[in-house]
Amino acid sequence: MAALKGTAFNFPGQKSVYHGKVRDVYNINDEYLVMVVTDRISAFDVILPEGIPFKGQVLNQIANKFLDATADLVPNWKLESPDPNVTVGHYADPFKVEMVIRGYCTGHAWREYRDGKRTICGVPMPDGMREHDKFPEPLITPTTKAEHGHDEDISREEIVAQGLVSEEDYVQLEDYTRKLFRRGTEMAAEMGLILVDTKYEFGKKDGKIILIDEINTPDSSRYFYAEGYEERQDRGNEQKQLSKEFVRQWLISNGFQGKEGQQMPQMPEAFVDEVSERYIELYERITGEKFVKSDTSGIEQRIEKNVLKFLNK
């Protein structure tokens, strides 16, 4: 099982390539973006040295399912998925903020809450909450989009004051974010899952806001199993979840949280396989479809051939 750790294509009309934490994004004449979803995995804003077989395919195909399932709510960038690891779509100017939305007091929200804070990104959180309790209403807690290093919490007021997004556009971003989260929550519930929190990214094309990048994948979202959620909360037990959180917990238990001076632990092969199976499990749980593993021998040649076929149309 080969893992796709990175790409270095040179497509016709290619103006630039951006290598993100997980995705390699090729700009074709400021008209199309070719997004190659690799098998890289990041945690604490650091790319881990090992690739996770089939992770890129899982992320790409889940994102495609949700892009198609929400196109009636929000216009998005997708044109076609010519390869299991690739989506091709419209080029857009991205907003420099990510729209994070949280339905539960979990992860970063809980860590802030546990430390005594009762607001996050300028949004109040009620008193008396336990870890993984549901918020009365989902909270929108935006972050900056850092080119390097950590994304930072930012309030709506700061976003507008800094000129990152106009007031008018921000109102639209919040509306789209709530609509997408509601649809994602409904789709997860149909499959026995709870969409706990997620993030959406948006850009502008021809003066219109469109949804870009991935959507509701285990890299950008956290899911709980719905069955037994209440009982686990009542007993004070950990929630059973499908997300990258277990990778973060493994890193923490091995002395790494992305802080200066900390040594990245080596992931054993058995753990890499476990992570791969977790991603496949989420795919099957969230889509209700059997995951079909693509042939990973010569994966780069396969991707190049399929993208060229699309571009030559």
Q: Per residue in 79-96, pLDDT tens? A: 999 999 999 999 999 999
- Render pLDDT for 29-84 as a digit per residue (tens, 0 to 9): 999 999 999 999 988 888 999 999 999 999 999 999 999 999 999 999 999 999 99
Please state, rounded to an integer, the average pLDDT across all residues of the chain.
Answer: 95
Question: Which candidate, 92, 62, 73, places its Cα nearest to that of 205?
Answer: 92
pLDDT at 313: 86
What pLDDT score was predicted for residue 218?
85
Q: Are 307 and 299 in contact (CB under 8 A)?
A: no
pLDDT bin (cut points 50, 70, 90) of residue 241 is: confident
Mean pLDDT of 239-267: 89
pLDDT of residue 291: 98
Unique residue bearing structure tokens 């040649």: 301
pLDDT given at position 148: 64
Q: Is the pLDDT of residue 162 over 70?
A: yes
Residue 144 to residue 170: CA distance in whole angstroms: 14
Rg of the chain, C-alpha, whole Å: 19
Residue extent(s) of CATH 3.30.200.20 domains in the chain: 14-93+268-311
Percent of the chain having pLDDT more than 70?
99
SS3 for the chain is CCCCCCCCCCCCCEEEEEECCCEEEEEECCCEEEEEECCCCEECCEECCCCCCCHHHHHHHHHHHHHHHHCCCCCECEEEEEECCEEEEECCEECCEEEEEEEECCCHHHHHHHCCCCEECCEECCCCCCCCCEEEEEEECCEECCCCCCCCECCHHHHHHCCCCCHHHHHHHHHHHHHHHHHHHHHHHHCCEEEEEEEEEEEEECCEEEEECCCCCCCCEEEEECCCHHHHHHHCCCCCEECCHHHHHHHHHCCCCCCCCCCCCCCCHHHHHHHHHHHHHHHHHHHCCCCCCCCCCCHHHHHHHHHHHHHCC
| Residue where the block lists tokens 């007993």 | 235
The CATH number for 14-93+268-311, chosen from 3.40.1390.10, 3.40.190.10, 3.40.50.2300, 3.30.200.20, is 3.30.200.20
Give CA–CA dist 179/232, Å, rounded.
29
Classify residue 282 as exposed, middle or buried by CB count within 10 Å of its CB (0-12, 13-18, 19+): buried
What is the reported pLDDT for 51? 95
Question: Does 200 have pLDDT greater than 70?
Answer: yes
- Say if residue 149's pLDDT is above 70: no
Q: Is the pLDDT of residue 295 over 70?
A: yes
Please, which pLDDT band fits residue 242 given cuts at 50, 70 and 90? confident
CA 160 to each of CA 96, 145, 181, 189, 259: distance values in angstroms, whole numbers, following the listed order: 12, 15, 23, 34, 30
Domain with CATH 3.30.470.20 in the chain: 95-242
At residue 147 the predicted structure's pLDDT band, cuts being 50, 70 and 90, is low
- What is the phi/psi pair of residue 99, to 5°? -95, 100
For residue 279, give both structure tokens.
Answer: 């991603």
Choose which CATH entry (3.40.50.970, 3.55.40.20, 3.30.470.20, 3.40.640.10) describes domain 95-242.
3.30.470.20
- Which residue's structure tokens are 């090729």? 26
Per-residue confidence (pLDDT) for residue 246, from 0 to 100: 82
| Rounded-to-integer distance, Cα 198 and Cα 203, Å | 17
Copy the structure tokens of residue 109: 């929200």
Assess whether pLDDT exceeds 70 at residue 225. Answer: yes
Residue 235 has pLDDT above 80, yes or no: yes
Please give the Cα distance from 81 to 278 (Å, whole number).
23
Task: Identify the weakest region by mean pLDDT among 42-46, 116-120, 152-156, 305-309.
Answer: 42-46
The tokens 């807690």 sit on which residue? 141
pLDDT digits (tens, 9 = 90+) for 103-145: 999 999 999 999 999 999 999 999 999 999 999 999 999 999 8
Contact 245, 222 (CB under 8 A): yes
